[in-house]
Every structure is written in C-alpha cells, then in structure tokens.
Amino acid sequence: MNKFSLFLSLLEPEMFGLSKNFQVESQLQDLSNEENSILIRRIKEDMVDFNGNDLFPKRYPSTIKFELSPKEKELYRRVSQYVKVNYNMALNQKRKTVAFALIMLQRRLSSSIRAIKKSLIRRKKRLESVRESDFVKNYGVNELIEIEKKYRNILDTEDLDDLSEKERWEIEKKLETLTMAQNLEELKYEINLLEELIDLAENIESSGEETKLQNLWKTLKEEIRDKHEKLIIFTEFRDTLEYLRENISDWGFQVVVIHGKMSMDERIRAEHQFRQEKQILIATEAAGEGINLQFCWLMVNYDIPWNPNRLEQRMGRIHRYLQTHDCYIYNCIAENTMEGKVFIRINSEIVLTFYS
C-alpha cells in the first residue's frame, strides 16, 4: 500500500489525498481517535450510478413462523435434553470436541426430521461399534479420551468456517463417535436412549406430519405462480437437501441440487439446468462458491446458519449487482425454540451490520 501511495503522489501530489491516508496504521489511528465520534458506513442500498439510479434492488426478508406439533415438541424436548446434559458434562471436563459434536446434533434437530434421524442413526451405529470393539473391551471406555485428543487438535488448528464444505462434513462425521460415557454400562444406556429418539423421529417422518415441510409447501404454492419463476432453497445439511429433493419432486416441481461433494463442473452444469429448465434449486453453502444465481430473486432459508456472515452470503447470491428484480427471502423458524432465539440474535446483528 505504501508503494501504491507513493506512485499516486508521483502522478499528481496530493490529488488523491495525503499519502499517509493510504497507510493502514494511519487509518486505524484515525478510527480510534476519540475526536472521531461518527463513522459513516455505506451499504449496497446506498449505491447509485452516475444518474442517481439504484445499483442494487430492494431486499425484503420475511419469516415463515410455525409451531411444532405435539410429537415434534416431544422429540425436540428429548433431543435437546440429551444434548444439554452431555454438553454441560463436556464443558465441565473441558472436552470441547464432544461439546462441538453435541452442538452439531442440536443444529441438525432444527434443520429437518430427516437430518436429526440420520445423525442419531449414525451416532448409534458408531457407538455400537465402539462398544463391540476389542479396544474398549480390553482397555475400557476411558481410553477413548486419548483418541479424542486427535480430534481436539483439529478444532484447535482449524477454523471450520474456513474449510470447504466437504472437509467440514468429514470432520463432523468423525466427531459423531465421541461420547461422555465413562464405562460400558453408561455406553449401553446412551445407545438405548438413541434408539428411543430414532423411533420418535421415524414416527414423525413416516406420518408425513413435519410442520416445517408443510409450511414450505404452502410457501411454494403461494410464491411460484409462474412456471418461469425460480426459487433457491438453502440448507446446511446434505441429509436435509436429499429429504427436500424427494418431497419437492413429489409435489410436481422440477428440482436440481448443488452440494459440497459435487465437482465444480457438476455445479456449473446444475446452475445451467436451473437457469434453463428447472424451477427450484436446493443447495448447501457450496452454491455460494463461484456460481452465478442473479437470474433468481426468490430464496428460502430452510435452516438458519449460526454464523451471520453465512446468512448474509446466502442472500448475496441473488441480491447483487445486475439483479433486475427486488429480492424476497423467507426464513423458516420454529417458534419457542433455541434456534428461534438464535435467529433473532443473528437477524439483529445483520441489521446492525448492514443497515445501520
């Protein structure tokens, strides 16, 4: 930056301001100066062209609120209790890898019935494998803490938000093996509890009574009135993506998907299909990597990432320069849940960051 400022001063001294203004140290000092009590921030909606016309369309976010059914409330309560008890134990013992695995379970619970069911099944199978392994029979469950240390190193050295979606999924799957059980008896108890939770989730999914999915169906009927209108549905989890693809296809919509295990060529082909012939794109965060989606102006966040930057990045896939329509974003939120509270917090942070 110093070389750049010197180059500008050679062209025309002080035409672009004093050279010190281009130095990072000077800018930081100016911002921290107590005399600078006002900081002006420009957002997309403030930007205009030379004729004073807006460069970006309006963005209209809204919330699809729904109340969980009695069966869903029971599943939510029991999974949340399972997570809470083990999470607190993990924190007390400074076992943050186990705590992280439990947080992921809670997030999958809020995503879809399919996502939580698949996660519980995988966790149960892995814990059963642990229980039957010669290692545990010979050395005991406590020795698993030593194995846990290698996963702890992953969390210590990696920011998961900086990893690719595929890498992040692989780490999360490995963490599903971890448990707070101290002996074989406790391990057996946890496996039995997981079996009960799986049965609850299976009962809800097989009945077709998932409230969130029903509310999505209503939204699609109301918003896609023309076969040429396009809509993107974002989710964090591959299990939810496949669940949505099955159901939305059964509803008669033309569907294409993009997720982190697809190559870039496959993603580009999917984007082309969406542009030319498909009505709905169901995508994970991978759709934000080098994919052009500004021909679409309707979006549903089927689940809400806990990182506000990710939520903003999703919306930025359609709310961008050269978009010719106002953008409508729908966020699916279950009332009276932890995730509902998280969304309120995230939404307030986005408002503070981008609209203040």
pLDDT digits (tens, 9 = 90+) for 73-85: 999 999 999 999 9
Query: Among residues of the chain, what percentage have pLDDT more than 70?
Result: 70
Q: Token pair for residue 292?
A: 């052009």
| Mean pLDDT within 158-183 | 69
Q: Token pair for residue 301?
A: 């966040």
Domains and CATH numbers, the chain: 2-39 (no CATH), 59-67+211-354 (3.40.50.300), 70-207 (no CATH)
Q: Write the pLDDT tens digit of every residue in 198-237.
A: 999 999 999 988 999 999 999 998 887 777 789 999 999 9
9-23, 112-126, 152-166 — most confident range: 112-126
CA dihedral 332, 79, 97, 100 (to 10 degrees): 20
Query: Out of 86-100, 141-155, 249-263, which region has the weakest mean confidence (pLDDT)?
Result: 141-155
Distance CA 236, CA 217 (A): 19
Res 161: pLDDT: 60
- pTM, two decimal places: 0.78
The residue that leads in pLDDT, 223 or 40, is 223
pLDDT band at 19 (very low <50, low <70, confident <90, very high): low
Return phi, psi of residue 298, to 5°: -120, 135
pLDDT band at 16 (very low <50, low <70, confident <90, very high): very low
Mean pLDDT (the chain, rounded):
79
* CB-CB contact of 181 with 194 (8 Å): no
pLDDT band at 15 (very low <50, low <70, confident <90, very high): very low
Res 350: pLDDT: 52
Res 355: pLDDT: 42
| Mean pLDDT within 166-192 | 78
Q: Write the pLDDT tens digit of every residue in 136-170.
A: 555 455 555 555 665 666 555 455 666 667 777 67
How far apart are the two ends of the chain, measured CA to CA in Å? Answer: 29
The residue that leads in pLDDT, 280 or 175, is 280
Q: Which residues of 253-277 are buried (b: 16+ CB within 10 A; e: fewer)?
A: bebbbbbbebeeeebeebbeebeee
pLDDT of residue 193 exceeding 90, the answer is yes
The residue that leads in pLDDT, 224 or 241, is 241
Res 356: pLDDT: 42
Res 49: pLDDT: 58
* CB-CB contact of 213 with 282 (8 Å): no
CA dihedral 80, 82, 83, 89 (to 10 degrees): 140
pLDDT band at 291 (very low <50, low <70, confident <90, very high): confident
| Mean pLDDT within 285-293 | 75
Q: The tokens 């074989």 sit on which residue?
A: 184
Res 129: pLDDT: 81
Q: Which residues of 330-341 are buried (b: 16+ CB within 10 A; e: fewer)?
A: bbbbbeebbbbe
Q: Which residues of 148-158 are buried (b: 16+ CB within 10 A; e: fewer)?
A: beebbeeeeee
Q: List, as own/partner pairs, every contact residues 37-45 make where C-beta atoms lie below 8 angstroms and the sequence separation is at least 24, other chains included.
A: 41/356, 43/354, 43/355, 44/319, 44/354
Res 205: pLDDT: 95
Helix (H/G/I), strand (E/B), else coil: 236: coil
Q: The tokens 């609850």 sit on which residue?
A: 200
pLDDT of residue 323 exceeding 80, the answer is no
pLDDT of residue 18 exceeding 60, the answer is no
38-42, 260-264, 296-300, 303-307 — most confident range: 296-300
